[in-house]
């Protein structure tokens, strides 16, 4: 193992907690511990700070403070929106989602199917794109909700959320989006997008884990998942004050999202161009689709992604496999499978997701290390000529 500096390229999974977020949280983990529901002066002080945090997060999402519910994260937000929409429109027992959603949505839909709810799963093409004609065709008079992610966590491919929300509304259905991956990488405006519900998590933007937010459009009386008087009766349970404060602190660091997006895309493009220069047979999944500026999902010509991950880790480089480990062995990514790739191709894929803490030198080191690892996995000798490409005929 030869590690000079660890390189973290798994920012779609989670991000490092920003020092400013940690500093903001610490008083509320020690001295400022009052319950915001308390009538005491200390409780009122904490409640005031929570209100300020709600305003900050609302600004990031393009929402009014009254439209936000603080949650434990996007999974809770997703479940609240899905179950709430079903209960809001009586007699509608049909949902629409896509085949490439986050497991928190897909597993909830599968659970609801066992309870008699019908679910339509929209396909995607080989680039991971959604065809709005499929959405129009799937809508029915009894459709209660359309739930589509804004950006895919594995490929970074973006869905046409504004157009999809309008189509859902034309059919009298609610529209929900999981915006977890797009948050902080591209501008988000919940009000302008036309969505009814939007969920997100703090830990994807250098905030703490275990806290998130759900946008609920003004005028929609969404039933709570947890009953209680907190969050104006919309989400029971004492608020996670340190988490919410940390969330807001992370949000306040996002002063120029467009600039950050350009920076991330520069790192991603540098990586992809360098990779294709020595391995032209590598496939960039979703390359021709509109996608997040930081995400690169690469297919490595029938090489074992778990082995490749291990070898990268030995060099201090963290990425993510395009497959999840399940009981009984490795299972192919449902996202890449839905895009039409074979099991072999899917199990040969890695995701590299860049973040604001990455530098151009990180990309350079990955591009120096990767050819040797790939050649070693192919049982080929090291390249004898600088810049020589790895043969696609292997």
Contacts of 76 (CB under 8 A, 6+ apart): 199, 212, 214, 225
Question: Is 149 strand, coil or helix?
Answer: coil
| Catalytic, out of 109, 200, 281, 325 | 325
**Secondary structure letter of residue 31 according to DSSP:** T
Question: Is 39 strand, coil or helix?
Answer: coil
What's the length of the chain? 394
Quote the crossing angle between the two packed helices 103-114 and 74-88, to the nearest 10°: 40
CA–CA distance, 229 with 388 (Å, rounded to integer): 65
CATH 3.90.1150.10 fits 7-15+256-377, yes or no: yes
- The whole-chain average pLDDT of the chain stands at 93
So what's the pLDDT on residue 391? 59
pLDDT digits (tens, 9 = 90+) for 301-346: 889 999 999 999 999 999 998 544 333 456 789 999 999 999 999 9
Q: Residue ranges per domain, the chain? A: 7-15+256-377, 19-252
Residue 33 pLDDT > 80: yes
Q: Please tell me the CATH code under which domain 19-252 is placed.
A: 3.40.640.10
* Cα distances (Å, whole numbers) of residue 99 to 120, 123, 152, 223: 9, 6, 11, 27
CA–CA distance, 17 with 27 (Å, rounded to integer): 16
Predicted TM-score of the model (pTM): 0.93
So what's the pLDDT on residue 386? 43
Rg (CA), the chain: 22
pLDDT digits (tens, 9 = 90+) for 143-186: 999 999 999 999 999 999 999 999 999 999 999 999 999 999 99
So what's the pLDDT on residue 327? 33
Q: Are strands 143-147 and 94-98 parallel, antiparallel or unpaired?
A: parallel
The sign of the CA dihedral 49, 54, 59, 64 is negative
Question: Is 83 strand, coil or helix?
Answer: helix
Q: Are strands 295-299 and 283-285 parallel, antiparallel or unpaired?
A: antiparallel
325 assigned to active site: yes
């Amino acid at each position: 193992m030869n590690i000079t500096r660890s390189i973290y390229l798994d920012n779609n999974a989670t991000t490092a907690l920003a020092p400013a977020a940690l500093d903001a949280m610490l008083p509320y983990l020690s001295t400022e511990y009052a319950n915001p529901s308390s009538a005491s002066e200390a409780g009122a002080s904490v409640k005031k700070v929570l209100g300020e945090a709600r305003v900050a997060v609302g600004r990031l999402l393009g929402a009014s403070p009254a439209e936000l519910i603080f949650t434990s994260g996007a999974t809770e937000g997703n479940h609240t929106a899905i179950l709430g929409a079903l209960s809001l429109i009586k007699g509608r027992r049909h949902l629409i989602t896509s085949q490439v959603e986050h497991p928190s949505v897909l597993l909830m839909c599968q659970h609801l199917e066992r309870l008699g709810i019908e679910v339509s799963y929209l396909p995607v093409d080989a680039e991971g794109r959604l065809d709005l004609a499929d959405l129009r065709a799937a809508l029915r008079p009894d459709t209660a909700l359309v739930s589509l992610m804004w950006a895919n966590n594995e490929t970074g491919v973006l869905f046409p959320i504004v157009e999809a929300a309008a189509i859902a509304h034309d059919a009298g259905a609610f529209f929900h989006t999981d915006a977890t991956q797009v948050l902080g990488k591209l501008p988000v405006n919940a009000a302008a997008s036309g969505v009814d519900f939007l969920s997100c998590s703090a830990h994807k933007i250098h905030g703490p884990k275990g806290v998130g937010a759900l946008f609920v459009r003004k005028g929609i009386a969404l039933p709570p998942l947890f009953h209680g008087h907190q969050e104006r009766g919309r989400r029971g349970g004492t608020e996670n004050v340190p988490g919410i404060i940390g969330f807001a602190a992370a949000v306040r660091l996002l002063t120029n999202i467009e600039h950050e997006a350009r920076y991330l895309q520069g790192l991603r493009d540098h990586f992809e161009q360098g990779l294709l220069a020595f391995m032209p047979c590598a496939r960039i999944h979703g390359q021709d689709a509109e996608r997040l500026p930081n995400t690169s999902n690469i297919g490595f010509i029938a090489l074992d992604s778990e082995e490749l991950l291990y070898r990268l880790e030995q060099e201090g480089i963290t990425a993510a496999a395009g497959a999840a480990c399940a009981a009984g062995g490795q299972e192919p990514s449902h996202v890449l499978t839905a895009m039409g790739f074979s099991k072999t191709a899917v199990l040969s894929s890695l995701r590299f997701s860049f973040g604001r803490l990455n530098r151009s030198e990180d990309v350079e080191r990955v591009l120096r290390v990767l050819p040797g690892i790939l050649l070693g996995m192919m049982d080929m000798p090291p390249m004898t000529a600088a810049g020589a490409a790895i043969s696609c005929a292997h």
